[in-house]
Amino acid sequence: MAPLMKGLTQFIVDIREAQDAEAEKRRINLEINNIQTKFSQPNLNGYHRKKYICKLVYIHLLGYDTVDFGLTHALALVESSVFSEKSLGYLAVSTLFPVEKNHTITDYLENMLDIIYSSLIKDLQSNNEEFNCLAVQFIANCFNVSNDEGHDYPVHSITKNHEDFPRWQEIVDMVYSLCCSPVSNLRVRQKSVAALLSLSKLFPSIIKANNNWIPRILSLVDDPSMGVVAASVPLIQFVAQMEPKYFKSILPSIARRLRSLVVEQQCPEEYYYYDSPAPWLIVSLLHTIELCFLCQETAPSVTLASLDRETVNSLREVVAYSIKNASQPVRGLPNRNSQSSILFQTVSLTVFLDASAEAIAGAVEALMSLLDSAETNTRYLSLDALIKLADRATSEGNYYASVRKSFSDNLPKIFKFSADKDISVKRKSLDLLYTVCDATNCNSIVTHLLDSFPHTEANLKPDVAVKIAVLAERYASNPEWYVTNMIRLLSMGEGPSGGSAYTGNEVWERVVQIIVNNENLQTMSCRMISNLLKTHSSSESLVKVAAFVLGEYGHKCDFDFISTFSVLYDAYFSVSLITRAMLLTSFLKISARQPDSDFVPDIIDLFEAETQSMDLEIQTRAHEYLQLMIEPGKELASIVLRPFPAFEAKSNHLLSRVGSVHRLSNRTRSSSNVAENKPRSNSDALARLRNVKSASSVALPIPEASDESEDPFAERSEDYTLSPNWYSGYLRMCHYDAGIFYENTLIKITYRVIKSGAIFTYRFTIINSAAKSANTEITRLTVLELQGASATTNPNFIIEMSQYPQQTVTTKTEMEIRVKIRNVVGINESPVLALSFMCGGSFNQLNLKIPVLMLKTLSAATSTNLEEFKKRWLQIGQELGSIDGESTVFCSTAHRYNSSNIVRLVSRLGLEVVHHSPDDTKNGILVLAAGILHTQNANYGALVTIKSTDDVGCKFEIVARCTAGGVAEALASSFKVIFDGGF
């Protein structure tokens, strides 16, 4: 475009050749006047309009705000039917549209929508795919304000009550249609996905309100086009985090896609990056899987046990191949970068997938080798990956020992990076040392950090000091070691302005807390602090600890206190006002407990002098302390100066300053060795600390949300809209062990029940009915959810997918669902199976309820005659009564039945028929049956009587008695469902 617009090219040359700002401004003003004149002409054609708009855009990008008049003409270009003019129009509108500083994001959206709405709708509805692309591209760019830095605005900026909501709803609907339509062009779909992501971030309520959209959006991960999949991953991550329950449904699809890319190397040629097949897509998909495991509500959305064997094996294979590829030599920096990026993301998954110890050790070695890279980014990312691996490796994993051994062997190499020339690498190496520290290597790590502390950058010292304090407390082998290292740290913690900027108040406060709560540390601490004060230039943090400890416990020591007091007295005049106030209190305690010492007159003189202090706190303390000292009898002083009580706080405020390391995992680590309030049988030294009342946890827990704050991403209970004609299959499964579960013109699902005590398996066969009528495959077959209404804690039954169906169904595929009955299961607890699939270009979703009934665990009670039946019937009535042990229901059937029909039904369900009336009797129908109900926790005897209450065999009374409370009700309710539905 530029070479054809000679005027534009010349204008840019003139601006660049301007000698100074004034010359540039004159040239721009001249051009603006010329453009305004040209715009006033009625016969301005498209070419000249484009040229002048380009000049205005260039002027605007130079920082001049006097070109707003061009917005109207930019909108005129948007209305053009010529692609080049329309494209430039959208670009100009997005560039020239004014953003007022005092306007909210809602104002910005409203104003933008007012001027561009009609054009967007027209282009979104157009049959011209290029116009579709321009419209959705504009939406993706201009409405992507949720990522705009420097603005802080609410995500829900437009609500349903807003007057513009219908217009936004229309735009979202049209973008969604372009995104998910099977007839949309690939380029249109790719850009539409980005546009839908921008709109979803602005209005997540719209996505949540259209729950039927979510399965369609998630199915994009199975799209045949690699470009659509790559574009849709951010949208899938966003939607799945809004509704975490859907995470599990997309994992099989992602695992298959990753396996084809990493293991089988199946990738279109245009998506290869040098020798690597689609590395950035692989990284995005691996990150999506990581989010599946990390996303938590009341419990993790996905656990390893909840995944099918095929998915887990595929993911483990991907991890193994990625580690193997990263360990092999490759040619060229681009290939190395792509392999390293895959390795970094793969390492984040190894712990979740319970990988083998060999795989973990291989990952550690591969990452350690990358630390030798000359690239700063590579070293930084390698350290970051190592931190994740170490932090997520808990003692419950079979790889824990391997991980710890690998890190212990490489400690010298990690130490080297704490002196790296790049400060970000230094920070990461410190985080890694903090993460891998345990009881075996704590001494080495803490000693190294203390030795390097004086040479550490000033902005890193506070972080290092906190890490030293936390690690020393947690892994202290004996109290002397802890106090020695902490006082050494405090002696080096002087800030640049003479304050305690490096160590902070949390460090010395924690040291004081430990000393106060441990009597055996008090005299030792006094001696150590006294020696340090005499031999080193004292930091203010050390002076604070000295003021507290020497004032409280100095009288217990037998060393020469006069010299120690002289150091404190000299330090008084060089410390901050807060520290002076502490020293005044310390001097009061010292003089009260050592009244005959030679330095007491100096203390009195200091108090008298400070009564004239300009600081109110110092003046008040000095006056009150002076009165206590000169008061006869000293009774008031003895009351005021009682021994300091032990701290009762259970939290360690140091942990709030540890940094971001703790956020990598949610596990709880071992408690503090120094501050723990329980004896250690394996160490007399640690046993002496059993009276300490504070506890510490290094891994910070995630703060629990208060009751008042609602989680916008929390899963809400919802009633599924079951698919038409679902009930006939549900009823058939209740009393037949094989048959048709569901059928329509596209798909047919048959089932077979395999029973084994309290465990039974539904084996489904999914048949492609459309293959015969339309010669069409079923594609993207996905199990969206399988979740029942049973309680999440101590559920009455456990249901899991033991075999997932294939995604593409040419003729048929199989699926298995395994059910374990643990306790008494109510009739209303049956789960819903949600399936989605594509067939002939249409998206379909089935929501089918699967019966999980105690009837399925019935077995016949062998050798039960009528007399035994009556005896047991009476026993249950006597022991449990009619309330707990018995349940009665009344049923009406659509057809007439005789005694033989009832006998066949009861036998098919698993009961043993004890007695039944003849078919030709005039006294009605009576069937007596007995059986055993199996659960994992217990087995229950069951007795059932079925009696007709009319003369034609259409109405029945069913009475069930069982050997435990609540069981009879569940059994009778199941019988009622079968009789009312017909059999």
Rounded-to-integer distance, Cα 206 and Cα 219, Å: 19
The count of C-alpha atoms lying within 13 angstroms of the C-alpha of 327, restricted to the half-sphere facing its C-beta, is: 16
Beta strands in 693-796 (DSSP E): 738-743, 747-756, 759-768, 778-787
Distance separating alpha carbons of residues 965 and 969, to the nearest angstrom: 8
Q: How confident is the model at residue 375 (pLDDT cuts 50, 70, 90)?
A: confident
Q: What separation in angstroms does the CA of 61 have from each of 97, 133, 145?
A: 12, 25, 20
For residue range 778-821, list pLDDT tens digits in order: 988 888 888 765 556 678 888 888 888 988 899 999 999 999 99
Map tokens 């030679």 to a residue. Answer: 598
Cα distance between residue 527 and residue 126, in whole Å: 86
Strand partners, 847: 834
Residues 6+ apart with CB under 8 A from 704: none
As a whole number of angstroms, the distance between CA 449 and CA 472 comes to 11
Are the CB atoms for 670 and 473 separated by under 8 Å?
no
pLDDT score of 1: 42
Which residue, chain included where needed, has tokens 């703060």? 703
Q: What is the pLDDT of residue 279?
A: 93
Binding residues, as ranges, are: 38, 47, 51-55
What was the pLDDT predicted at 428? 92
pTM over 0.85: no
Q: What is the mean pLDDT of residues 374-402?
A: 77
Predicted local confidence at residue 159, as pLDDT: 67
Tell me the H-state helices in 266-332: 279-294, 309-327
- Residue 402 pLDDT class (50, 70, 90 cuts): low
Pick from 351, 354, 357: nearest CA to 393:
351
Q: What is the pLDDT of residues 954-967, one digit of tens each?
A: 899 999 999 988 89
The residue length of the chain stands at: 983
The pLDDT assigned to 149 comes to 43
Calpha distance 475→683 (Å, rounded): 13
Those residues whose C-beta lies under 8 Å from the C-beta of residue 212, and which sit 6 or more positions away, are 845
Contact 934/917 with Cβ under 8 angstroms?
no
Q: What are phi and psi of 585, to 5 degrees?
A: -65, -40
Phi then psi for 809, rounded to 5 degrees? -115, 105
Return d(Cα 705, Cα 296) in angstroms, integer. 13
What are the structural domains of the chain?
726-852 (2.60.40.1230), 856-980 (3.30.310.10)
Q: Which residue has the tokens 């008298």?
A: 608
Q: Report the 10 Å Cβ neighbour count for 527.
A: 13
Q: Tell me, what's the pLDDT at 117?
A: 93
824 close to 854: Cβ distance less than 8 angstroms: yes
- Sorted by sequence, the CB contacts under 8 Å of residue 956 that are 6+ apart come out as 890, 891, 892, 893, 925, 946, 947, 948, 949, 979
Q: Which helix (H) or strand (E) holds 943?
A: strand 939-948
Q: What is the mean pLDDT of residues 608-627?
A: 91
Taking the CA atoms of 918, 920, 926 and 930 in sequence, report the sign of the dihedral they define. positive
- Mean pLDDT computed over 251-261: 92
In whole angstroms, give the CA distance from residue 374 to residue 965. Answer: 72
Closest by CA to 296, choosing from 217, 238, 241, is 241
- Is residue 496 predicted with pLDDT exceeding 80? no
Q: What pairing do the DSSP bridges indicate for beta strands 858-860 and 842-849?
A: unpaired
**Average pLDDT score over the chain:** 82
Task: Give residues with Cβ within 8 angstroms of 366, minimum separation 6.
Answer: 323, 326, 327, 343
Q: Is 376 helix (H, G, I), strand (E, B) or coil?
A: helix
Q: Which residue bears the tokens 């000299």?
A: 570
C-alpha angle 593-599-601 in degrees, rounded to nearest 5: 95
Instruction: Supply φ then ψ for residue 742, to 5 degrees.
Output: -155, 150
Query: Considering Cα of 910, then 913, then 917, then 923, what sign does the dihedral take?
Result: negative
Dihedral (Cα; 662, 663, 667, 669), 10-degree rounding: 10
Beta strands 738-743 and 747-756, pairing class: antiparallel
Using CB atoms within 10 Å of the CB of residue 312, give its burial: 0 to 12 exposed, 13 to 18 middle, 19+ buried.
middle
Helices (H), 437-492: 442-452, 461-474, 479-491
Longest dimension (CA), the chain: 120
- State both tokens at 880: 């449990």
Cα dihedral 90→94→96→102 (10° resolution): 150
Q: How far apart are the first and last CA of the chain?
A: 76
pLDDT score of 211 more than 90? no
- Interval 1-28: pLDDT, tens: 444 688 888 999 999 988 899 999 999 9
In whole angstroms, give the CA distance from residue 963 to residue 875.
9
What's the CA gap between 497 and 500, in Å, rounded?
A: 8
Q: Can you tell me whether residue 507 is helix, strand or coil?
A: helix
Sequence-distant (6+) residues with CB within 8 A of 343 are 322, 323, 325, 326, 363, 366, 367, 370, 385
Query: Crossing angle of helices 461-474/442-452, nearest 10°?
Result: 150
Q: pLDDT at position 394, please?
A: 59
Helix axes 226-242, 247-258, angle to 10 degrees: 150
* DSSP H or E stretch at residue 927: strand 926-934
Whether pLDDT at 892 is above 60: yes
- Tally Cβ neighbours within 10 Å of residue 168: 21
Distance CA 168, CA 344 (A): 40
Q: What is the pLDDT of residue 729?
A: 92
pLDDT value of position 528: 86
Cβ–Cβ < 8 Å for 537, 567: no
Q: What SS3 class is residue 371?
A: coil
Q: Given a cut of 50, is residue 674 above it in pLDDT?
A: no
For residues 314 and 847, give the distance between their C-alpha atoms in angstroms, rounded to a whole number: 28
Q: Which amino acid is at 660?
A: S
d(CA 368, CA 347): 12
Each residue's pLDDT tens digit, 111-149: 899 999 999 999 999 999 999 999 999 999 998 875 444
The span from the CA of 843 to the CA of 549, in Å, is 74
The whole-number average pLDDT for the span 194-216 is 86
Q: What is the pLDDT of residues 695-726, one digit of tens each?
A: 332 232 333 333 333 332 233 334 568 999 99
Residue partners of 26: CB distance under 8 A and separation at least 6: none
